[in-house]
Chain A
Amino acid sequence: MSHADARVGATNRDMLWLALIPSGLFIGLVWALSAIALPWQLQLDWVPSLGVGLDWYIDALSAQFLVLITGIGTMVFIYASGYMAHDANAGRFFLLLLLFMTAMVGVVSADHLLVLFLFWELTSLISFFLVGFKHTDEQARASARQALFITLGGGLALLAAFILLAQITGTWSLQAIVASGPELIEDPRLPAVLMLLFIGCFTKSAQFPFHFWLPNAMSAPTPASAYLHSATMVKLGIYLLARFDPAFNELLLWEVSLIGIGTITAVWAALLALRERDLKRILARSTVSALGTLVLLIGLPNEEAALAVIAFLFAHALYKAPLFFVAGNIDHATGTRSIDHLMGLRRQMPFTMVAAILASLSMAGLPLSFGYVAKDVVTTAKSGTDLLQIVSYGLLFVNSIAVAVAAVAAIRVFWGPANPAFARVREVSWRMLLPPLLIAIVGLEFELMPAFTDPLLVDAARVIAPAADIGDLSADHSIATFVTVAEVLVIGLVLFLFWEQLHRYLAGLARLDHYGCAALFERLLAGLTRVAAWHTKTLQHGNLSGYMRLTLVVLLLFGLGAWLAGDVDGSGLWASSWPAYEQGWALLAATVLISAGALAAPFVYGRLALLMVIGLVGYGSAVLFLFAGAPDVAFTQFMVETVLVVVAAAVLPHYGAPSRYPEPRLLNAAVAVAAGIATFILLAHMFSVPSDRSLAEWFATNSLPEAHGRNVVNVILVDFRALDTFGEIAVVAFSALAAWPLLRTMRKRRRTS
C-alpha cells in the first residue's frame, strides 16, 4: 500500500494554472532584462511625513535573485500542483506560496530599508505558516515556533541595525548607505551595527549558532522546503551581506566574523549531515553547510570571491531544489524518507532517478556541470588569498561531504537490492518529474550555454565588488581546479562508502546534543515560561487589596523620588494671601468640611453613614469651588451630590449589611498615611514651580470676541474644547450603555431563581 494511494479520496481543484503567475513573471523578467538596461528604479510615496517611501532599486544582484525567485517559483508551483493534489488544504498552501513569492520579490527589490525590513519579516512569517502547515502534528508546530522565534527575532536585530545605519548616514536608501562606506567605517557605532546586522543575517541564513532551525523546518511540505528553505528565503541573509560587502569589505571585523562563522557553520553542518537518517534533513544540513560556505566566500577580501559567491549561490539553487523535489517524490511514492529503508528504487522510479543523478553531478562538482564552474571560481577565489590552512581543510571536508550527500541521494536510494515493501511503488506524475528534471538539466546546460547567464552573473558580481575586473565565468578550467575536484571526489566517495560506520560513530555522540545550541534555545524558552508563570503567580494573585497596596507603594516611591530630587521648598504654599473676610471664612469652612468628612470616613462602618461622610467631602468641595471663583464647578458638584443621595438609596439594598472583616488595619493605615504625606510632598513640589497661565489667559481673552460668550468656563467646554466635551458625554452615555446589560442580567437571575 503506497502512501499516495492512501491519500486518494479527497478531490481537489487543479491548481496547475496558478503556475502561470510565476512563469508569466519569469518570462516578463527575462524579456525585460534583455530589453531594458539595469538598474531599474521606481520611487513612490508611502508615508511622506516619516520619510518612508516605496523606493525600489533593481540591479544585477537583485535581478539574479528575481530570476531565481520566479524561475524556481514556476517549477515549485508545477510541482506542488502534483504534490498537494490530494491535500485538502492545497488552496491555503498555494496562497502562502503566492504571498511568499510577493514578499521575496519585495525584499530583493526594495531600496528603502524599512520597506525591505517589512518584506523580510513577511517572509519569516510565511515560513512559519509553511513549516507549521501540518498543524495537527505537534512536532511541526514546535518546529514552526522555533523557526518563527529565531528568524523574527533576528529580524528585530536587523531593524535595530537599519535604524542605526539610517541615523549614522542620514538616509534610508540601501544604495546610498552602501555608497557611504568610508563614512560608516569611522563611526564609533559601527561594531554595534555590524553585530546586529550579523544576527539578522545569520538567523535568516541559519548560520552557527542559529543553524538548528533549518533542519527542523523540514516539517514543511516539500515544495515549500525546496522553495523557501533551500533556494530562496534562506539566501536572504547572504543577499544582504553581499549588498553590504562593498562598504565593509576592508574591515577586519567583517572579514574575520564572516570567515569564522561561515567556516564553523559549513564544517559543523556537514558533520551533522552524517548523523541524519532522514533524506530531507540530510539535504537541509547540506544546505546549511552550503550557506556557511557562501558566508565564508563573502568574507574573503579579494575580488574573485564576488564571482564565486554569485556562481555558487546560483549553482546551489539549481541542484538543491531538484534534490528536494527528488526527496519529495520518494516520500510521496513510498511514504518514508528514511535512508534505512530506501534502496533499489531504480526500477520503480526511473525518471526520479535521472533527475537525482543529474542534480547530484552538479552538486558533486563533476566537470561539465554548473557546479563544476562554481567550484572553479571558488577555488580561484581561495587561491587568491592567504587563508588559514584550517579553513582550507575545512572547505575540503565540506566539499567531500557534499559529494557523499550527492551520492546518497543518487546512488544509495536507487541502487542495491529492491526493498520488498516497495513492490507496489509507482513513479509519480509528470508534474512532479518535470520540475526536477528541468532544473537539473538547466544546471548542467549553463556550462554549455553561457550566453544568457554569464552577463547577468558577472554583473551581479560587480555589484558585490564594484572595483573588480571580472572576466567571464566559464573560461578558465585550470589544472588546479581539476586536481581539487578530483581530490574532493575521492574523499567524498570514501566518506560515502563508510557512511554507515561514520554514522554509527557520530550517533554515539548524541548525548552531546544536550549541550547543543538547539537544547540551549529550548531551555531558554522553557525558562521564559517559568519566569512568566512565577511572575503571574506572584503579581496576578487575584487579591484586590494586594494589587492596590503594590500600586500605592510604587507611587509612594515616586513621591519619595520627588522629595529626594530636591526642589521642594514650601515657598508656593504661602504664596497666596488670605482672601477677604467673608470669602476667607467660607473657604476655611470648606476645608474643615472636607477634612472632617475624610477623617471620619475610616471609622464609619454603616453604609449610609459612609455615603453621608463622602457627601461631606463633596459638599465641602462644592463650597470651596463656589468661593474660590468657580460657580459652575460648584453647581455641578452640588447637583452631583444631590443625585448621589438618590442613587445611593437605590443601590444600598444591593449591598446588604456591612460586615467587618478582619484585615491588617495597621498596615493599611500606614500605607494610607504614607500616601497622604507623599501627596502633600508632591503638591508642595507642584506649587514650588511657577504656574503657566498663558493658556488660561488666552481662553479668557478670546472668549468674548471670538466665541461670543461671557462665561469662559462654558465657552471652553462647548466651543474651544468642544471635541473633548463631546468625548466626555460619549463616555457618560456609553457607561450607561455598558451598565444596562449588567443590571438586566441581575434582574433576570432574580426572576428565574
Chain B
Amino acid sequence: MTLLVLLSISIVVAAAVYLSLSRDLFRVVIGLTMLGAATNLIVFAAGRFATLTPPLLTTVEDAQAAAVANPLVQALVLTAIVISFALLCFALVLGARLRAQAGNDDVKQMHATEPVAWDSVKPPELEN
C-alpha cells in the first residue's frame, strides 16, 4: 500500500520536473501544478496509512487508540489544494499576460524581454 503510493508520487514528481523544464510556457505552468499535486500527496502520505477510517467521531472514545486516520495532515492538504488551485489560476493568468506581452510562449525567448545589460556591474535599467 505505502510502497504503491510512494511509487506513484515519485512518478508524478518525475513527470512534473520534465514538464517544468520545457521551453513551452504552458507546459511549465502545468508542471508546477503537478509538482504541487505531488507535494499534497507527500504531505498526506506523511500521516501514514495505519487506519483508513475517516476522522468523523461518534463518541469521544473513537479518537483514542489511533482509531481514525490522521486528521492533521488532512487539514493541511485540504487548504493546500485550495491554495495551489489559486496558484495555478494565478500562474495561468500571469502566463497569458506574459504571452500577450512577449508575443510567444517560448520560455527561452522570454529573457529577451528583460532589459539588456549595458554595464558589467550595475543592473540594467528598465526603459520607460
Contact = CB atoms under 8 A, between A and B. Distances in A.
A–B touching in complex (CB under 8 Å): yes
Interface of A: 529-530, 532-533, 536-537, 541-545, 548-549, 552, 572-579, 583-584, 587-588, 591, 594-595, 597-599, 601-602, 607, 610-611, 614, 617-618, 620-621, 624-625, 627-633, 636-637, 640, 643-644, 647-648, 651, 654-656, 658-661, 663, 668-669, 671-673, 675-677, 679-680, 683-684, 686-687, 691, 693, 695-697, 699-701, 703-705, 710-713, 716-717, 721, 724-725, 728, 731-732, 735-736, 738-739, 742-743, 745-746, 749
Contact of B71 (A537, A672, A713, A736): A713
25 contacts: A576-B2, A579-B49, A587-B4, A594-B11, A598-B8, A598-B15, A602-B18, A610-B26, A631-B56, A636-B81, A643-B85, A661-B106, A663-B22, A671-B17, A672-B17, A687-B6, A693-B70, A696-B71, A699-B71, A700-B71, A703-B57, A704-B57, A710-B58, A711-B55, A735-B86
- Majority secondary structure of chain B interface residues (helix, strand, loop or mixed): helix
A725 B83 CA distance: 11
A577 B51 CA distance: 10
B69 A630 contact: yes
Contacts, number: 308
Contacts of A693: 66, 70
A49 B85 CA distance: 41
Contacts of B126: none
Contacts of B17: 548, 552, 671-672, 675-676
Contact of B54 (A631, A668, A731): A631
B98 to A, nearest CB: 9
Given A599-B11, A701-B60, A629 B75 contact: no
B51 to A, nearest CB: 7
Contact of B40 (A575, A611, A621, A699): A621
Given A621-B37, A633-B44, A735 B89 contact: yes
A693 B65 CA distance: 11
B6 A680 contact: yes
B85 A591 contact: no
B92 A647 contact: yes
Nearest to A607: B26
B29 to A, nearest CB: 9
Contacts of A695: 72
Nearest to A705: B60
Given A532-B121, A636-B82, A654-B99, A595 B27 contact: no
A661 B22 CA distance: 9
Contacts of B18: 601-602, 668-669, 671-672
A262 to B, nearest CB: 38
Given A614-B37, A691-B47, A700-B62, 9 more contacts: A591-B4, A631-B54, A660-B24, A672-B14, A677-B10, A679-B10, A679-B13, A717-B79, A742-B93
Contacts of A573: 2-3, 6
B9 A611 contact: no
Contacts of A673: 14
Contacts of A717: 75, 78-79
A697 B72 CA distance: 9
A644 B85 contact: yes
B13 A743 contact: no
Contact of B108 (A543, A618, A679, A700): A543
Nearest to B49: A576
Interface size range of chain B in the complex: 35 or more
Given A628-B49, A661-B108, A697 B10 contact: no
Contacts of B1: 576-579, 584, 587
B48 to A, nearest CB: 5
Interface in B83-104: 83, 85-90, 92-97, 99-100, 104
B15 A655 contact: no
B68 A601 contact: no
Contact of A663 (B3, B12, B23, B96): B23
Nearest to B89: A647
Interface in B34-66: 34, 37-38, 40-42, 44-60, 62-64, 66
Contact of A599 (B15, B69, B92, B104): B15
Contacts of B96: 651, 654-655, 746
A97 to B, nearest CB: 33
A624 B25 CA distance: 30
Given A545-B22, A624-B5, A746 B100 contact: yes
B26 A655 contact: yes
A695 B110 CA distance: 46
Most chain B beta-carbon neighbours within 10 Å: one of A536, A704, A712: A712
Contact of B105 (A630, A643, A656): A656
Nearest to A749: B100
B71 A712 contact: yes
Contacts of A578: 1
Contacts of A640: 81-82, 85
Nearest to B31: A601
A444 to B, nearest CB: 53
Contact of B82 (A574, A679, A732): A732
A10 to B, nearest CB: 33
B120 interface: yes
Contacts of A545: 21-23, 107-108
B46 to A, nearest CB: 7
Contact of A700 (B50, B63, B117): B63
B54 A680 contact: no
Given A595-B11, A724-B79, A644 B88 contact: yes
A544 B70 CA distance: 38
